[in-house]
Amino acid sequence: MATVCLQAQDLEPKGKIKEPKTFKEKMHNAFLSKRMTEATYQRDSMHLLNLAFNKDTTQRGIQYRELEGNYRALNAKYADLTEKHKALQSDYNEMNDKYTDLIRSSLNKTEQLNLALKEKGEQLLAREKRLAELEALIRKQDSITNALNNIIKKALLSFNSDEITVEMKNGKVYVSMTDKLLFRSGSADVEEKGKEAIKKLADVLNKNTDVGIMIEGHTDNVPIKTAQFADNWDLSVARSTNIVRLLDEIYKVDAKRLTAAGRGEYLPKASNETSEGRAKNRRTEIILTPKLDELYKLIEKR
């Protein structure tokens, strides 16, 4: 307060500053000037700070508004992505359910397929077993037929090849006796030499009872017509029948095993254009078939 009063007294009426007269006044004025300078500096500094603060506040406000805008945009994107995520999650759940159902269905089909394959495998094994059994029986049959063929060949070894031939085909033994050995021309009565051959054959057949016997009569194509036979067919039947009766009644071959058939000229062995061919066609074939009961039973099981 004292300082303020002194300053007021130092002023002249016309507003002029009174010059300091004493050292004390000069020191006092210097002190005041320094204080004034410091205050001015402080004021200017505060003003600059205030300007900087205002500028910074404005800049921060701009940045804040930008950040707020970015935040709102990002928040909107987040909300949109959240909705899309929910939709995708829903699709995922649906696809997962379908996948699970598909896996279950696939497993069921796989089980069905495995079961079907197992059944087919069992059927195949059963068929292979039956096939093996059939092959074994066929081999056995072939072995029996081959043995029978050899036995008959040995039994009839004393006869010429132009009288008797023995061969094996189709699992059967064919004993072919020519007309020269068995009959006179146009006759169905068996000659003595023919009876001898049939007796040797009967001896083998009586020792091998599991053999079926068919006697087939064959002629050439030269027509025949007599009081006894109307044609070649009639003659071939009579010849085969007489041999059957001979085997049954004289040589005691079981009649149940015997079958008589007349083929006439309809199953020639050679061409009828030559005398040699016609001679081969005039024959009686005794066809021997080992019984196939076991084979037939096995086939019936299929």
pLDDT in tens, 281-302: 999 999 999 886 554 554 555 5
pLDDT: which is higher, 240 or 102: 240
Euclidean distance between CA atoms 165 and 20, whole angstroms:
178
Helix (H) or strand (E) holding 229, with range, is: none
Q: What is the per-residue pLDDT for 4?
A: 41
If you average pLDDT over every residue of the chain, what do you get? 85
Phi–psi pair at 283, nearest 5 degrees: -150, 165
CATH architecture of the region 137-300: 2-Layer Sandwich (3.30)
Helices (H), the chain: 2-9, 23-155, 179-182, 192-207, 232-245, 275-281, 293-300
pLDDT at 12 over 50: no
Euclidean distance between CA atoms 253 and 258, whole angstroms:
8
Band of residue 20 on the pLDDT scale cut at 50, 70, 90: low
Percent of the chain with pLDDT over 70: 89
Band of residue 77 on the pLDDT scale cut at 50, 70, 90: confident
Helix 23-155 with 2-9: angle, nearest 10 deg: 120
